A and B are shown apart, each in its own frame.
Chain A
Amino acid sequence: MTVVMEQATDRQASAADSPMGEEQLCLRELNAWYGESHVLHGVNMTVRRGELVTLLGRNGAGRSSTLRAIMNMVGRRSGDILIKGQDSMGLAPHRIAHLGVGFCPEERGIFASLSVEENLLLPPLVKSTGHDQGRSQGQGMSLDELYALFPNLHERRTSQGTRLSGGEQQMLALARILRTGADLLLLDEITEGLAPVINQKLAEVLMMLKARGMTIVLVEQNFRFAAPLADRHYLMEHGTILEEISAAELPARHEYLHKVLGV
């Protein structure tokens, strides 16, 4: 009962905030530390429902740390993090996912002692902000849907997680959070070290998710992968946002980005 009311007030609050689609994620002056080292220096960004936003930057620019700070997986933090309008700074790490957030870590995090199917079934179902946009939200994709999307995983469902190839592991890491019903996805370097044909598949999946109204924050090194997918790009350096670039501005800024990113 309380949960339902909370959800309702959240929805009204966030819907009132922005006319263009409610804010799914809002960072204000986010600072983060790993022990003594200060990794984020006042990050500001906003992501609205249905957007796909990338964090671009060189290694060590603070892109992964931004995602980890949102998940409360770094040491100390200051500033504000609003997830779907709800302040999440005071929440324990295990509560964040239940706001409807799915996190895919850079190292993929496939559990070696679990089978593929156990890996898939591991993350608990989480609530999402149930706006009906043609499809009932709040429930994730079923195992059947996921196996249809990634037939390789179905073939290998009984093998140990780490017996999979890199591409299969990445598909499993992605599939795992799609089942939970999360509608705000934080994806860290999902194309790293994978063959072009697999990246093509991942791009198709991301387009499909976006079409379903999911909100995606993508940390990406592979600019050619990210460019056609994203609505906006945040360029990061030294733990802060250097610049925000919209998809429309992108062609004009190509040269500049190549130089800054060193690709």
Chain B
Amino acid sequence: MTMIFGIPLMVLFGQLMLGLINGAFYALLSLGLAVIFGLLRIINFAHGAQYMLGAFAALLGAQYLGLNYWAALIVVPLVVGALGIVVERLLLRRIQHLDHLYGLLLTFGLALIFEGTLVNLFGVSGSSYPIPEALSGGFKLSFMFLPTYRAWVLVAALVVCFGVWFLIERTRLGAYLRAGTENPELVQAFGINVPLMVSLTYGLGVALAAFAGVLAAPLYPVSPTMGSSLLIVVFAVVVIGGMGSILGAILTGLAMGLIEGLTKVFYPEAANTVIFVVMVMVLMLRPAGLFGKEA
């Protein structure tokens, strides 16, 4: 068997693949956080709960409404995103003139409410969501076995991430968003409906979290607490990448997944902390983050 640094190649590639999958989720989630932070200046602590709601909506939709995976991939982000818009209209908008800390506290409270409600209804143990028929099985490559669903998750997440990047960096709508991030008052004076843009942006960020949730449902146990543990890591990713940078969020997410995977191969004990170690180093050397603008 081929070895590299005393590690079987299959193990190495297997862990790198797992790392890349985790990285794809980090990228999707930190991208949503970055989009929301850019325009609303709110650190959306409900992001993990909204990811969890996505997974739960897919699960419950399948159980009670016969919603299949492919439909869930479209419908769930729309529904959870709409819920996000309601949250923005009814709650976040009322505190937008206050210190940003209030937004953080409010969204944190919302996360607790979403989680608590679902724990009450369904308990903390996870349920499993079946891998869709068309994506079961896998490919036997010369150096590793690649499950089809994992390959699909990677492709879908990357396509969505770069689609959002394109939308924001290369289109007229994105130009409104970028300009609104810099100077919402002036954008408004030019005749653009900024409050509507804020609602839709929050909805987009939340929909991205829900999309990640649906993608995750067949991979991880679907439980009310699945989001909160992930969110802590995602926040570290956002700090490393630099708050508010779109491309930074995506690339850092993928890179951190890979670093985590590599650490699992070479020094498994540190795998759960390596991202935080990187975060500390970045904070010391480049406090604005790798892609952030130095203040």
Residues of A at the B interface (CB closer than 8 Å) are 71, 73, 92-98, 103, 105, 109, 111-114, 118, 121-124, 126, 177, 180
Contact (Cβ within 8 A) A93 B183: no
Q: Which residue of B lies closest to A97 (CB)?
A: B191
Contact (Cβ within 8 A) B191 A124: yes
Interface core residue of B179, B181, B188, B190 (most chain A CB under 10 Å): B190
Contact (Cβ within 8 A) A111 B189: no
Q: List the 7 closest pairs (A to B, CB-CB), nearest first.
A: A97-B191, A123-B190, A109-B186, A93-B188, A113-B178, A111-B179, A94-B193
- Ordered by A's residue number, 26 sampled pairs between the chains whose C-beta atoms are within 8 Å are A73-B188, A73-B189, A92-B193, A93-B188, A93-B189, A94-B191, A94-B193, A94-B195, A96-B191, A98-B191, A103-B190, A105-B186, A111-B178, A112-B182, A113-B179, A113-B181, A113-B182, A114-B175, A114-B178, A121-B175, A122-B179, A122-B190, A124-B190, A126-B191, A177-B190, A180-B191
Q: Which residue of A lies closest to B185 (CB)?
A: A73
Contact (Cβ within 8 A) B191 A114: no
User: Closest approach, in angstroms, between the C-beta of A91 and any C-beta of chain B?
Assistant: 11
Contacts of B183 in A (CB 8 A): 109, 111
- Dominant SS at the A interface? loop
Contact (Cβ within 8 A) B182 A96: no
Contacts of A122 in B (CB 8 A): 175-176, 179, 187, 190
Contacts of A180 in B (CB 8 A): 190-191
Give the complex CA separation of A4 and B191 in angstroms: 19
Contacts of A124 in B (CB 8 A): 190-192
Interface core residue of A113, A118, A124 (most chain B CB under 10 Å): A113
User: Closest approach, in angstroms, between the C-beta of B97 and any C-beta of chain A?
Assistant: 11
The number of inter-chain residue pairs (CB within 8 angstroms) is: 61
User: Closest approach, in angstroms, between the C-beta of B27 and any C-beta of chain A?
Assistant: 21
Q: List CB contacts (< 8 Å) of B196-228 with chain A.
A: none
B172 proximal to A (CB < 8 A):
yes
B124 proximal to A (CB < 8 A):
no
Known: A111-B182, A112-B182. A97 touches B189 (CB 8 A): yes
User: Closest approach, in angstroms, between the C-beta of B39 and any C-beta of chain A?
Assistant: 12
Q: Which residue of B lies closest to A186 (CB)?
A: B189
Give the complex CA separation of A84 and B187 in angstroms: 22
Contacts of B181 in A (CB 8 A): 113
Contacts of B233 in A (CB 8 A): none
Give the complex CA separation of A96 and B190 in angstroms: 8
Contact (Cβ within 8 A) B192 A94: yes
Q: Which residue of B lies closest to A103 (CB)?
A: B189
Give the complex CA separation of A54 and B128 in angstroms: 71
User: Closest approach, in angstroms, between the C-beta of B256 and any C-beta of chain A?
Assistant: 25
Give the complex CA separation of A121 and B193 in angstroms: 16
Contact (Cβ within 8 A) B175 A118: yes
Q: Which residue of B lies closest to A117 (CB)?
A: B175
Contact (Cβ within 8 A) B191 A121: no
**Interface 1/0 per residue, B153-190 and A, CB below 8 Å:** 00000000000000000001001101101110111111
Give the complex CA separation of A71 and B185 in angstroms: 10
B131 proximal to A (CB < 8 A):
no
B194 proximal to A (CB < 8 A):
yes
Q: Which residue of A lies closest to B170 (CB)?
A: A118
Contact (Cβ within 8 A) B191 A123: yes
Contacts of B185 in A (CB 8 A): 73, 93
User: Closest approach, in angstroms, between the C-beta of A224 and any C-beta of chain B?
Assistant: 29
Interface core residue of B178, B188, B192 (most chain A CB under 10 Å): B188
Q: Which residue of B lies closest to A124 (CB)?
A: B191
User: Closest approach, in angstroms, between the C-beta of B168 and any C-beta of chain A?
Assistant: 10
Give the complex CA separation of A96 and B192 in angstroms: 10
User: Closest approach, in angstroms, between the C-beta of B184 and any C-beta of chain A?
Assistant: 10
Give the complex CA separation of A109 and B180 in angstroms: 11
Contacts of A112 in B (CB 8 A): 182
Contact (Cβ within 8 A) A114 B189: no
Contacts of A177 in B (CB 8 A): 190
Given contacts A71-B189, A113-B181, A126-B191, could you give 13 more A-B pairs where the C-beta distance is less than 8 Å? A92-B193, A93-B189, A93-B194, A94-B188, A94-B195, A96-B191, A97-B190, A98-B191, A109-B183, A113-B179, A114-B179, A122-B179, A123-B190
Give the complex CA separation of A118 and B183 in angstroms: 15
Interface core residue of B176, B183, B194 (most chain A CB under 10 Å): B183
Q: Which residue of B lies closest to A108 (CB)?
A: B186
Contacts of A105 in B (CB 8 A): 186, 189
User: Closest approach, in angstroms, between the C-beta of B183 and any C-beta of chain A?
Assistant: 6
Give the complex CA separation of A113 and B175 in angstroms: 9
Give the complex CA separation of A98 and B191 in angstroms: 6
